[in-house]
Amino acid sequence: MKMTKIIAASLVASSVLFAGSLADKAKSMGLQPIPIDKNELTKLTDPNGTITPERVELGKKLYFEPRLSKSGIISCNTCHNLGLGGTDGAPAAVGHMWVANPHHLNSPTVYNAVFFKSQFWDGRSPHLEDQAQGPMQAAPEMASPASLVVDRINSIPAYVEEFKKAYGNDVKVDFPTITSTIGIFERTLVTPSRYDDFLNGKDDALNDAEKEGLQVFMDQGCASCHNGVALGGTMMPFPMIKPYKFADVGDFKGDKKGMVKVPTLRNVTETAPYFHNGQIWSLAEAVQEMGRTQLGKNISDEDTAKIVTFLKALKGEKPEIVYPQLPESTATTPKPDFN
């Protein structure tokens, strides 16, 4: 209950102390737009200066590369489909040998994941480059030992040459370099929306109904968890006040402290089903379940509809992604393994 009191107090303080425009109020409550200025955006997406055109193009190829999986048929894009909002549209991710995730975990979107404070539902990974190592090696996902990934890539001369072009002739094409390159590509998957235009000063970027929805979103307390540039991506207790009605689907309980990564609301109309175990398909139902579970309140159908109207305005402009032509295997490339 201590966390609940803190959230309630911050909401009251914000509403009492702030009397500016709606956009200014949103910013005062922790909502942040994707910056318009390229230098400011780079500070968020590339703080270590690792992004180059060559690495992004190579990372894109690796993102779509099914030979990084043991079977040779599953790529990063299988579960994080860039044509489907960065997800797979399934309640639980399906991986090696067509097995559903044993914890019944839903695939979160990769779009705007660069803004997350932590990766994975339990927040165990600090950034995208580290996150990319997990699914590749996980038995229920791509099931590839690191050594197999390295052997496959190094057996293809065209890939080795691309790594040299991206990192220099002395590059060691090892597992961390391969996975980091995927992470570098993922750092470019940013989707600015009309909501960002509104917070960046374009008052007519949202219509009156969407502005009203944003107001209700803040007044109901949704912004206490869904904030920052990502409108999520931090760790919060779940459930906080009342039990989640589908808690018995899968055995996931969050991290050791019961904390779960808050999913981003950007492009939320494209990322159903919702929640960590993908049990709710309706966005309106998801809003009401979050209100009950996390805020301890029953959000009316009328207010829910207003919030959903606002959430639809979070659908952003996707970067153009052209499916790459991948280099051919050689006689020494390890063969697909379905065991």
Mean pLDDT along residues 110-118: 97
The confidence score (pLDDT) of residue 12 equals: 46
- Does the pLDDT of residue 6 top 50, yes or no? no
Mean pLDDT along residues 246-269: 97
The mean pLDDT value of the chain amounts to: 95
Task: Answer with the residue of higher pLDDT: 153 or 11.
Answer: 153
Confidence of residue 1 (pLDDT cuts 50, 70, 90): very low
Confidence of residue 98 (pLDDT cuts 50, 70, 90): very high
Distance CA 24, CA 5 (A): 24
pTM given for the model: 0.93
pLDDT in tens, 76-94: 999 999 999 999 999 999 9
In the chain, what are the domain boundaries? 2-39+191-312, 47-186
- The kind and range of the H/E element at 25 are helix 22-28
Torsion of CA 94, 230, 316, 295, to 10 degrees: 80
Domains 2-39+191-312 and 47-186 share a fold: yes
The confidence score (pLDDT) of residue 13 equals: 43
Confidence of residue 3 (pLDDT cuts 50, 70, 90): low
- Sign of the CA dihedral running 306, 292, 270, 187: positive
Non-local (6+) Cβ contacts of 88 within 8 A are: 78, 79, 80, 81, 94, 107
Mean pLDDT along residues 160-177: 98
- Does the pLDDT of residue 17 top 50, yes or no? no
Mean pLDDT along residues 124-143: 97
pLDDT in tens, 195-230: 999 999 999 999 999 999 999 999 999 999 999 999
Q: How many separate helices (H) and strands (E) can be counted in the chain?
A: 14, 2
- Residue bearing tokens 């219509």: 207
Residue 250: alpha-carbon gap to chain centroid = 21
- Does the pLDDT of residue 291 top 80, yes or no? yes
Distance CA 159, CA 141 (A): 23
Mean pLDDT along residues 1-5: 49
Q: For residue 127, give the nearest of 59, 54, 183 by alpha carbon.
A: 183
- Sign of the CA dihedral running 206, 203, 201, 227: negative
47-186 CATH: 1.10.760.10
- Does the pLDDT of residue 163 top 60, yes or no? yes
Superfamily in which the 2-39+191-312 domain is placed by CATH: Cytochrome c-like domain (1.10.760.10)
pLDDT in tens, 29-43: 999 999 999 999 999
- Does the pLDDT of residue 165 top 60, yes or no? yes
As a whole-number percent, the residues of the chain with pLDDT over 70 amount to 94
Confidence of residue 116 (pLDDT cuts 50, 70, 90): very high
The answer to whether residue 65 is catalytic is no
- Give the active site residue among 141, 186, 210, 270: 141
